[in-house]
Structure 1
Amino acid sequence: MASSSGTSSGSSLIQNSGSEEDLQALIDQRKRKRMISNRESARRSRMRKQKHLDDLMSQVSQLRKENHQIVTGINITTQRFLSVEAANSILRVQISELSNRLESLNEIIGFLSSNNGVLGDSSTFNEPAADSFLNPWNMAYLNQPIMASAEIFHC
């Protein structure tokens, strides 16, 4: 009986070890599937990360290009502004100089007009009337103020 009970317990051990091996094989198979799945998931994640990085690098390149264009535009505009500002300064100085000259000429005309009776009188200098007529200081256009406008300075 002992031998029969030993045989029966031996056969149950063989059955148990067979089922344990099947269970271990099933666990190993699940581990391999999970490991393969994890590797595939990690590969997809790396690919997404690489695509995102590539997109960001492309965006950086595009933004740098736009920034360069904007800086170039600003530099060109600044140069134009400085050029116009310099021309404007020159025109202001010219206006000032011409205004001073105009004022001086108008003062001369005013002085000549006020002294016209003394200087233009032919009896004072004992000149004939014809000479008085031809004297450029006595011409009527000199009695008018000289006017100037900014339009004559346009090139």
Structure 2
Amino acid sequence: MESSSGISSNSTGLQNSGSDEDLQQLMDQRKRKRMISNRESARRSRLRKQKHLDDLMAQVAQLRKENQQILTAVNVTTQHYLNVEAENAILRAQAAELSHRLQSLNEIVAFLSAGNEGFSNEEPAYGMAEFAEFVNNPWNCLSQPIITAAADTGFMY
């Protein structure tokens, strides 16, 4: 007997088993495609992860380099600061020494001026010759040198 689909009823059993095989092949093919797709997706994921890791490693290297440069700059700046501080301390000590010497010289001048008011043309008894020597060559009268600094040893008197 012939059905409306054009297939006889006797061959229906044979066709069902063929259909099951086709269905099984189709499912196997889809399963293979899905496995291939999953493998490709996993490969892309691993590549993205590796690229991200490489980018992070490059960033770490760059940050370490920048950190080293900053550390070097800080060390150089600190050394300059210490040098300026040492020079400033020397200059302050020299300024204090010169101020003390000026004050001493002003006291000497005041003392000599006060002692000479009562005398007319006579040589004063207490050091006018020394004072004249000082006026002509003031640096010979100083008994101690001004504080100086050596670059390597710090302060030197």
The percent identity for this pair of structures is: 63
| 2:101 paired residue number | 101
1:16 matched to which residue of 2?
A: 16
Q: What is the number of equivalent residue pairs in this alignment?
A: 127
Change (3 A) 1:13 1:104: same
Matches within 5 A, 1:3-152: 11-118=11-118, 121-122=121-122, 135=129, 137=131
Unaligned runs of 5+ in 1: 1-7, 126-133, 143-152
For 2:101, give the aligned amino acid: R
Measured after TM superposition, the shift of residue 90 of structure 1 is 1.3
TM-score normalised over the length of structure 2: 0.70
Structure number with the higher helix fraction is: 1
Say if 1:137 and 1:85 are closer, same or farther in 2 by CA, change over 3 A.
closer
Deviations 1:36-55 (A, max 9, x none): 01111110111111111101
| Structure with the larger RCO, 1 or 2 (CA within 8 Å, 6+ apart) | 1
Gaps of 5+ in 2: 1-7, 137-147, 149-157
Q: Quick one: distance in 1 between partners of 2:123 and 2:31?
A: 135
Q: Whole-Å Cα distance in 2 between the matches of residues 72 and 120 of structure 1?
A: 72
Query: Distance between the aligned counterparts of 1:123 and 1:64, measured in 2?
Result: 80
Q: CA 1:123–1:19 in structure 2 vs 1: closer, same or farther (change >3 Å)?
A: closer
Give the Å deviation of 1:17. 1.1
Paired letter, 2:14: I
Scaled by the length of structure 1, what TM-score is found?
A: 0.71
